[in-house]
Structure 1
């Protein structure tokens, strides 16, 4: 029987007549069933190795068939050679095929599967970037952020090392393999959740969007739930826990600044961080104002114009500074 039909049977893509034909063929001869089990073993083992659900199985099988045919040609016995007819020969061939399929499967994974055996460095320059990790977790690096990650086959966790800047994490749940972010001596540990981590020279800020996050230093430890944040002193490891009252921290993920009855000064602080600008709310009256609006993460000048029209304030340029009053 053609392997192509057996493959369709494995992928549950065979028609009812084809299913019947395969099952009759397997029942007719123990060697037929053994051949089918070998095909299934190689496929299942290759998927187990990478623990990935997003692989294009049809494409992988097509490439598998080609490699299998090539390997069969290469190892055809010459003259009286009967190596492949022996049990050891079949085992060796199976492992050759397993190696070939593993290479194929790895090619479908993010960063070619490198994180399964080594560290992968990710760097954002002047634009935020979004990356999908091997386990399906998604992270967004803000501009000028730098980190590395690994999710090794035999490792006990999924490890990220944030070296600079900030990143927003959307972590896939896996109770057997916690997701750990290391920031110096600080450790953030989760199972499955969404949160933001920002590292500056003086402190690290962790804000939880969904789920529960454990934040731990050599000196202190807290649990954070949705809409809570921790401010960690990078020098002494102390942790200050408080409520997170807005969604401005993830502007680089959503590409917008969402303000709901928010202090104008708080919104301006977020704009300064995003645009590396020096906008100052000068008048005491403007400092007391609140604003409800959604600003696109686009032009700073356009956003200041929207603020001016919404609140009736004046925006002016004084040297390198922009003044709101």
Structure 2
């Protein structure tokens, strides 16, 4: 039995010290997986209490079998759990049950076969999950959701760009895990983009909690957080960029948008390779809207508006200043 399991038993017996109680609470809050693991422990514990008057067990034999299985671990790391005398038999029964439950919970939570893959190829994909939540996946997005999703609303986003419209359910929070980042909601709409070790969360409606380790922030409508390679602090910013919507709206909304950002989105949307000839061009801004336009027409408007021109070289489309 691991030290974590022993601490959880002690915690459920309400016999932890102040330091141990803080340690357990911090561990539970670290990740949705930890919280689910603890909830499984508690369910088995509560169930065992209900069954006590009806169950006749050879407690001594059960306890000896349990001790034999954990003795190897205890030689390396022993944790003394002071127990009240009247609760001792309960610990023996619950420990045996929790050992089996812990193995089952770990398998359910971490076995890859318990998640169903969703991959968007060269087309935007709209997917309705078993709880009624609707996801819009941008091209080349790779993610998965729990096979028992109506009970465990958990998603793993490996890479890509997804807009979530989550069906409200206060009893079963909706959790997305992205590397070291966790996003937790009840019912809301928001966009997550995870590419090149960078994660961006933008909220359209409701409240979204974004966590990394013990640090967390709450985002409201019109706010975003950008996390670079799992480093830095979680800083809330106002979102004034509507280009993140392009793959589901098919509209490019520019509002004082720098050319560098326009080029980034166009390359992503059209699988093109547009570059600027010098950094100063990237700082130029443009305000307009393109609705289901071709790349050639968009570039033509950009050039006419900003005094630029395009040229092609080895698969690149180069934006440069027009010669005066």
Please indicate the TM-score interval, normalised by the length of the shorter structure: 0.5 to 0.7
**CA–CA separation in structure 2 for the residues paired with 1:288 and 1:279:** 15
Report what 2:260 is aligned to: 265
- 3-state SS, counterpart of residue 308 of structure 2: coil
* 8 Å CA contact retained: 1:296, 1:303: no
Report what 2:119 is aligned to: 123
Report what 1:58 is aligned to: none
1:15-49 CA-partner distances (Å, limit 9, x unpaired)? xxxxxxxxxxxxxxxxxxxxxxxxxxxxxxxxxxx
Residues 1:225 and 2:220 aligned together = yes
- 3-state SS, counterpart of residue 183 of structure 2: strand
* 8 Å CA contact retained: 1:186, 1:237: no
Report what 2:284 is aligned to: 289
**CA–CA separation in structure 1 for the residues paired with 2:303 and 2:231:** 42
Residues 314 and 234 (structure 1), Cα distance of their counterparts in 2 relative to 1, 3 Å cut:
closer
1:49-91 CA-partner distances (Å, limit 9, x unpaired)? xxxxxxxxxxxxxxxxxxxxxxxxxxxxxxxxxxxxxxxxxxx
Deviation at 1:305, TM superposition (A): 1.7
- The unaligned stretches of length 5 or more in structure 2 are 1-112
Q: Which stretch has the larger CA shift, 192-201 or 236-245?
A: 236-245
Residues 1:145 and 2:141 aligned together = yes
Match of 1:305 among 288, 300, 303: 300
Report what 1:111 is aligned to: none
- 3-state SS, counterpart of residue 270 of structure 1: helix
Residues 132 and 286 (structure 1), Cα distance of their counterparts in 2 relative to 1, 3 Å cut:
same
TM-score where L is the length of structure 1: 0.58
* 8 Å CA contact retained: 1:251, 1:297: no
Report what 2:171 is aligned to: 176
Residues 311 and 179 (structure 1), Cα distance of their counterparts in 2 relative to 1, 3 Å cut:
same
* Higher-Rg member (1/2): 1
TM-score where L is the length of structure 2: 0.58
**CA–CA separation in structure 1 for the residues paired with 2:150 and 2:285:** 52
* 8 Å CA contact retained: 1:219, 1:237: no
Q: Which stretch has the larger CA shift, 250-259 or 293-302?
A: 293-302
Q: Which stretch has the larger CA shift, 142-151 or 274-283?
A: 274-283
1:28-39 matches, cutoff 5 A = none
- 3-state SS, counterpart of residue 239 of structure 1: coil
- 3-state SS, counterpart of residue 303 of structure 1: helix
Deviation at 1:288, TM superposition (A): 4.4
Report what 2:30 is aligned to: none
Residues 292 and 185 (structure 1), Cα distance of their counterparts in 2 relative to 1, 3 Å cut:
same
Deviation at 1:298, TM superposition (A): 5.2
Show structure 1 runs of 4+ deviating over 6 A. none
Q: Which stretch has the larger CA shift, 238-247 or 141-150?
A: 238-247
Deviation at 1:297, TM superposition (A): 4.8
* 8 Å CA contact retained: 1:204, 1:231: yes
Match of 2:188 among 188, 193, 211: 193
RMSD (CA atoms):
2.5
Deviation at 1:168, TM superposition (A): 0.9
Tell me the number of residue pairs that the alignment of Structure 1 and Structure 2 aligns: 208
1:200-227 CA-partner distances (Å, limit 9, x unpaired)? 2322111112221100011421111122
Deviation at 1:181, TM superposition (A): 0.6
**CA–CA separation in structure 2 for the residues paired with 1:285 and 1:262:** 14
Report what 2:129 is aligned to: 133
- 3-state SS, counterpart of residue 272 of structure 2: coil
